[in-house]
Amino acid sequence: MRHSAVRRRLRTKLPLALLFLCASFVVSSYAANQDVEKRFRELYGNLREYKEINRLELNGKHYILAYWLEDNSPLQLTVDIFRYTDSLLSQPVTKVFSGGVAEEVQAIVHFDLTGDSQDELIFVSDSGQIQIVRVLQDQKKSFAQIFMNGGSEVTIIKSTREIWIKAKTAGVLEVYRWDPSSKKFLRTKTLEILF
């Protein structure tokens, strides 16, 4: 009888402990992000009027993504990407990219699209009725945009490392893959679609 009571308490305490552990991680991660954002604004807020600041870890390096509106136009969202080495930002940050990301960023993901065992940074944005994909590659000292295209719909296929761009009005689906010999994305297929 005593063993079953102990087991019941363990069954209750173990999920609660796991829930507490997960909640603590989320809260500490959020707090760390807020600390970096606050410190970045203190040190570099005079550069631009940044609308949003996010933290990102990519290939073992730490980045700050700072968004601002070019000419104060909501149609011209731009991102500055800074690399930093410590969470207190006691060392100067290094700007590694600055470029437009259209009107509204729908997703920021990182994935190895080129097959070089290093993740690329992928922005999917909306600009009016067009969805745009931008692929940035870390080239040690800076990021370089290695692909940009748009259509009615953008899909990235993980298993084949393909980018599919659907153009409804043209009635086609274009498929792009990284070509290691030319070091760029090439269109490998154009398929006609009904809708």
* Per-residue pLDDT reduced to its tens digit, 71-105: 888 889 999 999 999 888 888 899 999 999 988 89
Kindly state the percentage of the chain with pLDDT values over 70.
83
Looking at per-residue confidence, does 172 or 47 come out higher? Answer: 172
pTM: 0.79
With 90 as the cut, is the pLDDT of residue 21 above it?
no
Quote the distance between the C-alpha of residue 191 and its chain's center: 28
Q: What is the model's pLDDT at position 122?
A: 97
Per-residue buried b or exposed e for 35-54, using 16+ beta carbons within 10 Å of the residue's own CB: ebbebbeeebeeeeebeebe
For residue 59, the tally of other CB atoms under 10 A from its CB is 13
Query: Looking at the predicted structure, is the pLDDT value of residue 3 above 80?
Result: no
Residue 30: is its pLDDT beyond 70?
no
- Is the dihedral angle over the CA atoms 112, 113, 118, 124 positive or is it negative? negative
Tell me the pLDDT tens digit for each residue of 121-167: 999 999 989 999 999 999 989 999 999 999 999 999 999 999 999 99
